[in-house]
A = this chain, B = another copy of it.
Amino acid sequence: MAKVAVLGAGAMGSALTVPLTDGGNKVRLWFTEYDLRIWELVSRGKEHPRIGVKLPGNIELYRPEELANVLDGADYVIMAVSSRGVLPVSERIRDLVEGRNIPVIIVSKGIEVIDDRVLTMTEIVKEYAGTDITVYVSGPSLAVELARRKPTFVVYSSKHIDIARRIKDDFETDYYRIEISDDTLGAEIAAALKNIYAIAYGIVEGMSKRANEIFNNLKAAIIAKALKEMAGIVQACGGKRETVYGLSGIGDLYVTAMGGRNSMFGQLIGSGMSVQEALKEMERRGVGVVEGYRNADTLAKYIAGKGVKKEEARLFYAVYSILYENAPREHVIEALK
């Protein structure tokens, strides 16, 4: 039985408390300043508003000011705050994890620009929390389904394979299954890229609904092209193509294209809205940040820096030009030709 400190009580951090508890671990959940409205409900035994379930009764809840307490004696830390929160929280836990060999397991997604450098979540944790022992979690894992104990298959990536294996032993349940990989960078890049391609998929879906036609041939071609480009980009960045062909790539792309916010945002554009109108509509629906929109610019800089040419990522740049350069939405089709 391991003691696990989950940092961040949003959808994924909270959902993870379910399999972790079922797996026999002792789970603590830390609420950030941004989670206080969730605290009001969860601490009174009510359903978590973002995942629609009550959290396990035997987990311990910690308030924002109790960060030191939540880490005290923990075997593992799970970083589950928003991508923008990873840097400040890493700095705050530095004294508590540095030199103490506590693995930091990262479920936060995306890449961020820090002082003109583009950094992945793992790179931020390593640098700002001062630890080298990190494990990155990826794969198709909608929090709502995991919290309801639906079968979920994920990948834990780390260069410390032995530690990843130990965590797998501690965390796995019948419905929460963990694959081990050593390609952290590939998993991180794929996780960020898939949002862009899910927007492309959504644009075609929106065009299809607007025309009241089915475009399954085209959607299949989008998926195939996305996979090809993702593999090339991940490889150019120093990751493995194989990562893209597995749960961290096609698996995550599938789940995101079928029903995530990025795909929904794409659909609005495909159905005829301008990018600004689509952003407003997303805000009106209260569904939160469109990571793909926020990250496309950063990713473009990042992959250009890795030597990826525009003709090697035509679908990526088609989405980019639709999002930022007012290009017509048909560009996603042209990019396949």
Residues of A within 8 A of B (CB): 139-142, 144-146, 148, 150-153, 177, 213-221, 223-224, 227-228, 231, 245-247, 249-252, 254-255, 258-259, 333, 336-337
The answer to whether A216 and B145 touch (CB under 8 A), given A221-B251, A227-B250, is yes
Q: Which residue of B has the minimal Cβ distance to A337?
A: B177
A219 engages B254 (CB within 8 Å): yes
A153 engages B251 (CB within 8 Å): no
**Could you say which residues of chain B place their CB within 8 Å of the CB of A145?**
214-218
**Could you say which residues of chain B place their CB within 8 Å of the CB of A153?**
217-218, 220-221, 224, 336
B245 engages A220 (CB within 8 Å): no
A223 engages B250 (CB within 8 Å): yes
Provide the bound-state CA to CA distance between A327 and B150, in Å: 21
A217 engages B250 (CB within 8 Å): no
A216 engages B258 (CB within 8 Å): yes
Centre residue among A141, A145, A251 by max chain B CB count within 10 A: A251
Shortest beta-carbon distance, A153 to chain B, in Å?
Answer: 4
A250 engages B247 (CB within 8 Å): no
Assuming A145-B216, A152-B217, A216-B259, what are 20 further A-B pairs, CB within 8 angstroms? A139-B221, A140-B220, A140-B224, A145-B214, A151-B217, A151-B221, A151-B336, A153-B224, A177-B337, A217-B255, A219-B254, A219-B255, A219-B258, A220-B250, A220-B258, A223-B250, A224-B246, A224-B247, A224-B251, A227-B246
